[in-house]
């Protein structure tokens, strides 16, 4: 009888320690990464690019990592950018690249700056790559991108086309879950 009483007492303590949390609620510090692969084209610019950069294309891979609190609100976010371009003319120079908050067919202001400096994508035979990692993204902007990726576009600017040379809308992301452990 003492064993049964001890077992019941032990189970009662465990049940009380579990609290009322639902197992579907995210734990504090939960992280996830949404990876967007964005094809870039001069035809997507508004207006479409028709000058010497019209043969260019590229791809931006954007990995947006967010940490959420137990209520599901984003508490911090960072982005890693891998930018690959090709088909630019010999005289072209990439000046910068950004995420903008605008739908297809519309231009909008810079929403997330990659911090890419002019000439950082060194073009060899019209092609080049650059990586920018650990870029801080304000929590509200990360939430806006994740809730409506198609309402945001990525574009690469050149000296010849300072308003944008190649562009693509963000789309469906591949999402991976993390543990919230930071290094």
Residues 139, 153: Cα–Cα separation, whole Å = 18
Decide if pLDDT at 175 tops 70: yes
In this prediction, residue 20 carries a pLDDT of 41
The residue extents of the domains of the chain are: 23-177
Residue 181 burial by Cβ neighbours in a 10 Å radius (0-12, 13-18, 19+):
exposed
Longest Cα pair distance anywhere in the chain, in angstroms? 89
Q: How large is the average pLDDT for residues 54-82?
A: 97
Decide if pLDDT at 95 tops 80: yes
Write the CB contacts of 40 (distance below 8 Å, at least 6 apart in sequence): 57, 58, 59, 60, 85, 154, 155, 156, 166, 167, 168
Q: How large is the average pLDDT for residues 100-106?
A: 97
Instruction: Classify domain 23-177 at the CATH topology level.
Output: Immunoglobulin-like (2.60.40)
Lookup: tokens for 92: 């072209």
Q: How large is the average pLDDT for residues 136-162?
A: 97
99 forms beta bridges with 112, 154
Q: What are the pLDDT digits (tens) for 7-42?
A: 344 444 444 444 444 344 445 678 999 999 999 999
Residues 93, 22: Cα–Cα separation, whole Å = 53
In this prediction, residue 136 carries a pLDDT of 98
Average pLDDT, the chain: 87
Lookup: tokens for 83: 């930018």
In this prediction, residue 25 carries a pLDDT of 43
In this prediction, residue 28 carries a pLDDT of 63
DSSP code for 71 = T
């Amino acid at each position: 009888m003492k064993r049964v009483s001890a077992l019941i007492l032990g189970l009662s303590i465990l049940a009380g320690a579990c609290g009322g949390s639902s197992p579907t609620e995210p734990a504090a510090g939960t992280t996830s990464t949404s990876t967007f692969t964005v094809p870039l084209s001069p035809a997507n610019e508004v207006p479409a690019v028709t000058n010497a950069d019209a043969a260019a294309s590229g791809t931006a891979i954007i990995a947006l990592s967010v940490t959420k609190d137990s209520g599901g609100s984003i508490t911090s976010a960072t982005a890693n950018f891998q930018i690959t371009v090709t088909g630019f003319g010999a005289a072209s120079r990439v000046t910068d690249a950004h995420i903008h908050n605008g739908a297809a067919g519309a231009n909008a202001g810079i929403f997330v700056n990659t911090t890419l400096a002019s000439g950082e994508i060194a073009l060899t035979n019209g092609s080049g790559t650059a990586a920018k990692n650990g870029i801080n993204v304000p929590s509200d902007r990360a939430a806006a991108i994740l809730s409506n990726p198609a309402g945001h576009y990525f574009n690469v600017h050149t000296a010849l086309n300072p308003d944008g040379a190649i562009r693509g809308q963000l789309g469906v992301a591949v999402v991976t879950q993390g543990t919230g452990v930071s290094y």
